[in-house]
Every structure is written in C-alpha cells, then in structure tokens.
Structure 1
C-alpha cells in the first residue's frame, strides 16, 4: 500500500501547489507572514480558483492548467498591489515556535495515515452514491473544459448553481499530472485532511488562545476525532463538504486575528485588509459548499458580539446594541435563506435529547464510539474558557455547534429541520462533522491546562521548554493510541450498526465490484465513442462515465423520474416483444448498448431495475463482453 501511495508523490505535490501556491504568493504580497500565511493560503487559493472558473465559464475560456496559472498570476498581482497600498500586516508574537512546527508535521503525518489507511488503494473509489455524481462531474469538466459552478450541474442535465471548487481543483490535478480521476480525488482528500485542516485548526487555536504551544497541540490532535476529517470521506462521499469544513477554522481565525490589525492601527488600512480577507473567506466557503458558510458566520458573529460588548463604553451603549442586533438579524436572514434554498430535510431524528447531549459531551455523535480522552481534554478546555472572560465567546461557539447536533438528532419539528438544519438536509453526519472545529482547539487548551496543573502539583518548576515537550509527547501518545487501537468503521445511525470494512474496498458485493470496474474501463475498446450505453445507476454502472469517458447513462446514482425510464427499468429485457420499450428507448436517444450489473440492492438510495438484467436468451440482445457476472449487451430489438 505505501509503495503505491509513494508512487503518487508527484500528484500530491501538484495538489499541494494548486491549493497553496497562489495563496502563499498573493498573501505574502498582501502582508501576511508565518502561520497566518500558511493557514489562510488554501482559503485564498480555493476562492481564487473557483472565481476564475466562474469567469472562464462566462467568457468562454477553457479550464486548463495554463489558463488557471494565468488567472492566479492576476490574483497575485492584485494582492501585491493591495499590499503595497495597505503596508505590512501586524505580526503575532511567538513563544515556543518549535512546538508549532513539530505539531504541524506530526499532525500531518497522523491525519495522512488515518486517511491513507482507510482509503487503502490510491486508485480506490468510494462505494457510495455521491461518489458517482462527484467523479462524473470531474469527467464532465475534463470533457467540456468548463469548471464553472454554473455549469457543472449540467452533467446530469441541471442548469442551477452547484458549488464546484472541489471539482475544479480535482480536474486540474488530473490535467496537470495525467493521473486517473479516482487517484486525483484521493490525493486531494489527503491534502484536505492532512494539510488544510491541521493548518487551519492550529491557526484557530493560536488566534483564540494566543499560544503557539496550544496551537501545536491542536495540530497534533487535528485528526483525533472520527467526525472530521474522516467521516466526510466515509459518508456520502461528501467531497465538497469536506473541503468547505476544512476551510472553516482558517476562515474564522482570519476574523479573530484580523481584529488586531484594527486595534493596532487607527488608520483605515486595518479595516480594509480585514474586510477584503473576510470576503475571500466567504467566497471560498460559498463556492466550496455554502453550508459551511453558516457556522463560520455564526461563530464570527458570536466573536463580534463579544468584541462589541467589551468596547461598549467606547462605542456607546446605543451604537453597540445596534451593531450586535444588526449582525444577528443579518445572520438569521442569511441562515434561513440558505437553509430553505435546499431540497429540505431528508433524515429523521434518532436520539432523545439526553442521548444527543451525551453524544456531544463525549464526542460520540451519530453513534460513533465515544472519544473518551479527547472528550476529557475538551471538557477541561471548556472549563478554562468559561473561567476566562475573554475566551467565553469560544465556549458559546462550541455550545452553538453542539446545539445544531442536538436539534438534528433529537428534534422532529418541521420548521427546525427545514429552516435551521436545511442547509445540511438535516443530515446528522454533515452536522456531526462540524464538532471538531471547536472540540479540537478546546482539547488542546485542556491538555495545556492539565500539563501545567500536574507540573505545579508535583512541585516541578514550570520550565517552558520542559512543559511544552511534555504536552507534545502526551498529544503524540494520545494519537498513537487512537491510530493503532481505535476502529474507524462507518456508523449507520438509524440502524445502530457499523460497516464491516472500509467503503473504499471493492468487494465482490460492493457498489462497484472489481468485475464491473474492469468491464467499464474496457468500454472504449468495445463501444464507439458516439454511442450511448444504458445502465442501472444503482449498480456500478453509475461509474461508467467517469471510468470510460463514454456516454454511459444516467450519470448520477438516481435514475430519471419519467414514465419512459420506468418502462425501461421494468421491461427492457422484453424489448423484442414490446414496442412500448423501444418507444421508451427513443426518448433517451436510442441507446445501442446496455450494461447488466444485476438488479441492484434494496434500501435507501437504491433503485432496483429488474428489466435491466438477465438478457441471456432474450430476443433482441447480443452479448458483447463479459467480466465475471458483469456483462455488456448490444440492443438489436429496436434497430432503425
């Protein structure tokens, strides 16, 4: 396994450059340095990439590495121009920077290992419904050279906005390196979980707690909870949600840290810099997956409320009240607008309120095994934030994220599920993934508090180096135990069961089994490129477009909702006897081939099609190729 991943090092380097190089160059010119520069660089790069894709789509420029580089140079030039106008940003003081450096290195190793060991094969495909759409969308970008968020949804015939930052970056990795789409997706997964997320968590911890040591602990512990980043690559698979959630800590840290630019400068430059970077953060989140914009905005408003109340005497009570009220009103309006702009609630509650409360206190959301060590550290950190007035806003933020989970897990009220939780489709997995944004920094703070407590308790002098080293070693021990002994099976919250294995393993009974994948990859040698191939998308045939590049239809996991498709799904194998079947096929362009991957399973998200299997011996069908139980048939019954 390791050798296979090492062979993908060039692709990993390219992916890292795509998500960091534009931001590093631009933000250096705009005055950022140190951890702020490294952590916010991916936020800038994602925003710039997604905006460039939108512009290219509007003016008709092709999406390619060359045009992307040119666009990034424009963004970098603008950032340097703004930086010259505003001057350098104030830098944050460093206490024990070595702890932060080692913490980031170790955090990347732990997070990368957890993801790599779960995915196993760099060419593996997530055996989940959403993987069909996301990977087919990347194929569509490669085919049309258009990565605009106003275009990507056309892969399934849609015309609406769909956040395509993840898809655009993944397509660039494929174009620049020549790796397959599954490899590019998995490489980007590692970058999201092992680079973007630990950097953001570390910067958030330092911005809130003003300590490089706590930031270093947070970096090490970044992947300690299954809820994120791992869960978003198990459930769904939710690539865009994973990207947007990984960006939230750095986006929030920018708001918190940026306040120092305003405090330390009475001039307008600090306000302008903070405003521009806040817009960059908002753009990145909205174009990656808008749901993540809401917790970021809410936590930012909580922090703003604290800051305004703190300076109420200077601002005046009336003005302070007006600012806080306006901020919460705007947040409420935006929240309800985004929540009600989706297809609504798709999942029922599954816990009572006390069970849901214990879930958040013990980090056992969606029936995951409780994370005892991290939960103890988190609760200690929570106690510290409650005792220290300047940190209470972060305790309130943790409570707000926890409340979202309690609502989705235990409250069935229609208004709550549609107007408050609708941005996540009232999906407890997506909301559970938000918990580590606050839980991990709190755990790092708790670890720091405990290390200092025991140093005092046992009469040791609190030498900064020794205490920091002890804390770093303790965080490493916690992670080693988690990585080596804690299972990461995907929980099914409604059934209270767990996956028997990784969702990336292609077993014989998997969504896409090895025989089906082999046949799909062979399709270009069997079918002319202008021919359409039908398949039941609830089987591995849904991956036909991404793996072959041919028009394998449908291109998403759910079948079309039409009478014609219903006729095909139920009676295609009778095409030799029933003219109505041929009429239905005509609606879908008279496809000349059909894939027989069985009728599919049953259950949520599965659509059995008994008429699209068992063609052997049926009039009007000729066998073209077979791989195990998977087969390709030519439809001759409706030849015109």
Structure 2
C-alpha cells in the first residue's frame, strides 16, 4: 500500500510547501540564516496562516492560496524592515542587534543528510501506519475533523466558527489543521479523508523534524554525533507524533505540538540560554508575535505546553542574571525587583485563567486515573503509554542527559522535562484536586500530556549520548588499546566511539520490539478500528455509491454512531450529524426521536424539508455500542425497514440506505 502514497506526491508536496515556505520566506527576508530559518519555518508558517485566515474572515475574502501569499508578503516586509534596522544599528548595540556567530556554524552537510533521513523516517512511520492515503480513521473524533475539512472546502472559509459548525456548534475551534487540509481539497480535488492523512504525514515528516532540529542545534550545540542521536530519537520516540495520531484522533493537537520545539528555541534565544544567539533579539520578538496566533489557531493546548516549559527557562535566566549582578548592589536590587515582578505577573496570569470562559469547561474535564504511581513512573521513564510501545534505550539516554545538564547552563531543560514528567504522572495515576488543577489545561488527559515529553526528551537524549560517549572515550584514554598505533588511534577517537554508540542504539531498536515496525503497527490500529469500526469496506462502497444515487443537494441523516458521520464525505453530500456528539436543536431532536413518522406527522415532515433530507442510512453495528449509552438516543432512526415513504437504494455490510420520499407538512 505504500506505493499508493507515490500517487499523492503532488498534494503531499503542496502541503509541505504551505507549512514551510511562508515562514521560510519571512525569516529569510529578515536576514536570518538559512539553517535557522528552515527550523523556524513551520512555526512561522502557522502564524502566517493564522493571520491570513483571520484577515480573510475580517475582509470577507475566500480562503485559498492568494490569501496566504498576501499574508506571507506582509510578514516578510515587516521582517525585512526589522532586519534592516538591526543591521544598521548593530554597531551601537551588538549584544541585542547582531547575531553571535562565534560558536554557531552553518548546518554541516552530515547534519543535513541526517535531517533528511529523519524526515523520511517520520513520513514512513505514518504512511506505513495509515496504510493507504484514503484509509479511514476509525476513532471517535476523526469524523468531526474530516467533516470540518469538507465544510472548509465547500465554503472556502476556514474560520473557527466554520470548523465548529461541523459538529453543529458555533464556539471557537482551532481551525488550522482543517484550513491546511481544506486547502488541499480546494486546490487538488482530493477527498477530505485523503487530505487529513496527508497533513498527518507532513506533521510527522516535515514540521516536527525541522522544529526539533532547530531546538537541538540551538541547545546542544554543533555536535554532529549529538544531532544524529537526537534526530534518530525524533523518529523513534512514539509519544509524539504517533501517540496523538492514533488516540482521539488528535490531529490539531499534533499540528500544534510539532512546532513547540522551535518556539522553545526562540524563547531560549530571547533569554540568552543558548550557546549563541543566531537571530537578533528584535527579530526573535517579531517571530514570537507571529507565532502566538499560530499556536492559538493550531491548538491552544500547545500554548500551555510552552508556558510550562518556559517556567524553568525564566527561572534559569533570572538566576543567571542575578549571579552576574551579585557583586553590584544596584544591579542586585534591580534583578530582585525583576524577580518580584515576574512572580506577581505569574500569580495574576494564573488567577486570570479562572475567568476565561472557554477554558473553564476544559479544566473541569476529568479523566480517571489509569495506573498506579509506579506504573506511571515507568511509562514516563520509558516514554511509553498503554497505546504506544516503550523506548527504554532512549529513556536511559534521557536520564543520563538529565544528570549531564544538571550543573550546566542548560539545566532548565532537565527542569522542564521533570516538570512535564510530573504532570504526566499526576494525570496517569492521581484523581486529586492538585492533578485536576495542574493538568486540566490538557483535559486532564494522560495522552495529551505525554506527547510534549518528546520536546524535552529528544535534546536530553543527545546530551545523554554525548555524556556516554565522553565517558567511554575517557575510559579508553586511561586504558591503552594494544595493537598497531594507527588502529589504536582510531579506536581511541571520539568518532569511533560515537559510531559504536549509534550502532548499539540501532542494533537494539531496529530489529527489536521498539523498532519502526511496532510504532507503525500501533498507529494502524486507529485505521483498522481495533475491533470497533465506524465504516467497513462494504459500507464504504455503499456510501460512495450515494454520490450518484442520491438527489442533488440532498442531506443524509442517520444515527451518528453509525457510518452516517462518514457517509457525507464519502458521497459528497452534507450530513445532519457531523459528529457523534452534536448540540441539540429542535429539528435534530425531533428527527432523532420520530423520523419514522415523517409521512404522518407534519412537524416531522417540516423538519425533513427544512434540513433538505433526501437519504437516510441505518447500520445495525454501532460504534462503541457496548461502551456509551448515547448510541441508543436515536429511536426514530432505528428499524427503518418497511417504514412508509422510504425506498431502498442500496446496502453494504451491516448498513442500508433509503431514499426519503415526499411528505406533507
């Protein structure tokens, strides 16, 4: 089935360009070096897409490539102006306006090769896990996202309210995943199902590798060995992106988390926590302003991940500043005032969160504890969950990395990882007020909280591998190797030791149970249905046939816990229920209870006409039938055989379809 992906190279390339070119162009316009600009490209691109989407809505423009081009040009011009100002004034304030290139080097060709291999590896894992580009994701939220993509393509609108309307709502819903996928449908004509899978592949194969590569190079430094170990981990650490692509499915969350490493790199540059600031501070601040709406429109949960990681970063920056100003009484006082203001700002921000209406319901959501504290600790250490395989060799490297950086300027990275790990353990193992308070920003959901662990784990694994290599090299230096001097010199070299370390990691991972194959098999469960399918192959054939059998502009109705939620995108028609959970309305409630009376009850007939219902479907197999009582909330759409006014037009698997006849209202 992997060969089928090659027929989608055009849409895949378009998706990759949409999430990289806008940000890359804007960064290069500001004079940012290419090796940094390419790492910032996905994060900046999401910001530009968000700005373009909001502007299009405000100006009444249609969503499409022209809007994105205009948004890209606007941000590029802003960056160019700021970059020009930095270059002209850099001689006066070199610390703030001139990038420090003394320890920074352009991306070596070996690192470029490793990065490309990591991108191909990430794409392979997702492509192999999904199977075919048109495979249907059989998880709870997938129908909503696919129907939202369909609405974006039909209306040429990607506003939050447009996306939310797929489930019958009007509240804000982060639209960028659907905006990118909908753009693919508009430009290339592929189905929303294929578009969703392609964007998932681009998240894993383009956005995540580029973003994490920037963080690693900024924090770890120019070590090629550390970079190679980190990028290998970016593919094999399955808590991200695979975990979010198989659970839920959480496509928007995956989109937002994929750029968090680049955002953390920006913050590290702004706070002076990296070995060299490769971007002038004003450009860092502009990039941060552009990225913020991108995080919000991709998924706000990522913003809280950034805040959590930023806490130890701010502490580290202020501690370093205090240490530098300690000899000066005046300087010490200023730093202490700054620390006090930071604490006050943090308390005010925390209290203000209680007054955000949309956030309140999220923070109240409660997932029950799923494991004991010791089991939760094991999951965090091995970077695993009940849904995705463990990775103990990288877990060991992360622990070594935490120890290695504990007494260095990068200790904040260890602090951030421990903080995220603590939040994950609270969500997994505890049903307490503290757990709810601290993890409610992610629905108190262990899977959403486990995913960001990859952001800190990947660079920490690089630090751990470097510490392992150096310890081994030091041991070899103290214990001379017998034999010819040329051979001994090679065996003592760091390159030889590094090669052995990488070789051992590959030997343990690839043939073993934690290799790429197991990760792909975990992801494939979301498409196979894991024993509970929304749409089987025969049912898919039936729904696709409705494209020619159903009247033009006819709406499809059925119990949403059946394949009805996918019948619309498969046939090209609208559906009454675009998600399993849809807010009640007078028409929907009436039809759910009494649709079978449409030929005899004028009120039911009026609802049928108002919603333009032309097709009704029924499936004797319901999704989560033994797990959720809501599946039985549609008696009016059950046992439809023999109902007056319905004409059978097809069947497939356990599903049947009828044409809805005329009625009097």
- Relative to the length of structure 2, the TM-score reads 0.86
Q: Which residue of 2 aligns with 1:440?
A: 458
1:556 paired with 2:579, answer: yes
The change in CA–CA distance for 1:507 and 1:340 in structure 2 (over 3 A counts) is closer
The Cα shift of 1:49 comes to: 0.6
1:607 paired residue among 612, 631, 635: 631
The CA RMSD over aligned residues, in Å, is: 3.0
SS class of match (1:558): coil
In the alignment, which residue of structure 2 is the partner of 1:284?
294
Cα drift, residue 341 of structure 1: 5.3
Determine if contact 1:545/1:553 at 8 Å carries over to the other structure: no
Whether the aligned pair in 1 keeps the contact of 2:423 and 2:435 (CA below 8 Å) is: no
Matches within 5 A, 1:203-222: 203-213=214-224, 214-222=226-234
User: Any stretches of 5+ residues in structure 2 without a counterpart?
Assistant: 88-97, 326-330, 478-487
1:532 aligns with 2:555: yes
2:20 match: secondary structure: helix
2:190 maps to 1:179 = yes
Q: Note if contact 2:136-2:193 (Cα within 8 Å) is conserved in structure 1.
A: yes
Moved more, 596-605 or 287-296: 596-605
Identify the residue that residue 309 of structure 1 maps to in structure 2.
Answer: 319
Alpha carbons of structure 1 residues 392 and 323: separation in structure 2 relative to 1, 3 Å:
farther
Give the corresponding residue for 1:123: 134
Q: Counterparts of 1:382-393 in structure 2 under 5 Å? A: 382-386=402-406, 388-393=407-412
- Shift in Å at residue 333 of structure 1? 4.2
Residue 9 of structure 1: aligned partner: 9
**Residue 353 of structure 1 aligns with which residue?**
373
User: Within 2, Cα distance between the matches of 1:525 and 1:466?
Assistant: 65
Cα–Cα, structure 1 residues 104 and 30, in superposed 2: closer, same or farther, change >3 Å? same
Cα distance per residue 1:299-321 (max 9 Å; x no partner): 12321221111111424242342
Alignment of 1:14-163 (within 5 A): 14-87=14-87, 89-91=99-101, 93-94=104-105, 97-163=108-174
TM-superposed CA distance for 1:509, in Å, is 5.8
Query: 1:233 maps to what in 2?
Result: 245
Q: Secondary structure at the match of 1:632?
A: strand
Q: Does 1:245 align with 2:268?
A: no
Shift of 1:444: 2.0
Of 483, 486, 495, the residue aligned with 2:515 is: 483
1:511 and 2:540 matched: no
Question: Quick check: 225-234 or 560-569, which moved more?
Answer: 560-569
Farther-moved stretch of structure 1 (252-261 vs 48-57): 252-261
| Closer/same/farther in 2, CA of residues 84 and 371 from structure 1, 3 Å limit | same
Which deviations, in whole Å up to 9, do the C-alpha atoms of 1:514-561 show, x marking residues without a partner? 222222222231222333221111111101332333221111222443
| Deviation of 1:111 (Å) | 1.5
CA–CA distance in 2 between the matches of 1:582 and 1:599?
A: 26
Counterpart CA distance in 2 for 1:335 and 1:465 is 50
> Equivalent of 1:620, from 636, 640, 645?
645
Whole-Å separation in 1 of the counterparts to 2:350 and 2:415: 17
Task: From 333, 340, 347, give the equivalent of 1:322.
Answer: 340
Q: Equivalent residue of 1:631, what SS?
A: strand
C-alpha displacement of 1:587: 8.9
Q: Residue 400 of structure 1: CA displacement?
A: 0.8
Shift of 1:435: 1.4
Q: C-alpha distance in 2, partners of 1:326/1:204? A: 29
How far is 1:85 from its partner?
1.9
Change (3 A) 1:333 1:470: farther
Instruction: Report if aligned partners of 1:362, 1:371 keep a CA contact under 8 Å in 2.
Output: yes
> What's the CA shift string for 1:482-501, capped at 9, x where partnerless?
335645665xxxxxxxx9x5
Please state whether the residue corresponding to 1:619 is helix, strand or coil: coil
Distance between the aligned counterparts of 1:543 and 1:161, measured in 2? Answer: 23
Distance 1:528 1:78, change over 3 A: farther
- Between the aligned partners of 1:295 and 1:8, the Cα distance in structure 2 is 33
Structure 1 stretch 209-218 or stretch 459-468: which is displaced more? Answer: 459-468
- TM-score with structure 1 setting the length: 0.89
SS at match of 1:73: helix
1:493 alignment counterpart: none
Asked if the contact 2:149–2:178 (Cα under 8 Å) also holds between the matched residues in 1, the reply is yes
With over 3 angstroms needed to count, the CA separation of the structure-2 counterparts of 1:469 and 1:442, relative to structure 1, is same
Moved more, 561-570 or 591-600: 561-570
* Aligned length, in residue pairs: 625
Instruction: Check whether the contact 2:272–2:317 (CA below 8 A) recurs between aligned residues.
Output: no
- SS of residue in 2 equivalent to 1:129: coil
Q: Could you say if the C-alpha distance between residues 326 and 106 of structure 1 is closer, same or farther in structure 2, counting changes exceeding 3 Å?
A: farther
1:165 matches 2:183: no
Pairwise CA distance, 1:375: 1.1
Separation in 1, partners of 2:660, 2:107: 70
Shift of 1:144: 1.3
> Within 2, Cα distance between the matches of 1:61 and 1:605?
43
Preserved CA contact (<8 Å) 2:168 2:582: no
Q: 1:146 to 1:96 in 2, by over 3 A?
A: closer
CA distance in 2, matches of 1:149, 1:513: 31
C-alpha contact (below 8 Å) 2:554/2:612 kept by paired residues? no
**Which whole-Å CA distance do the structure 2 matches of 1:469 and 1:108 have between them?**
21
* Distance change (3 Å), C-alpha of 1:369 and 1:61: closer
Whole-angstrom CA distance in 1 between matches of 2:352 and 2:275: 28
Alpha-carbon separation, structure 2, partners of 1:378 and 1:616: 60
In structure 1, distance between residues paired with 2:628 and 2:459: 36
Asked if structure 1 preserves the Cα contact closer than 8 Å seen for 2:43 and 2:262, the reply is yes
Q: Larger deviation: 276-285 or 223-232?
A: 276-285
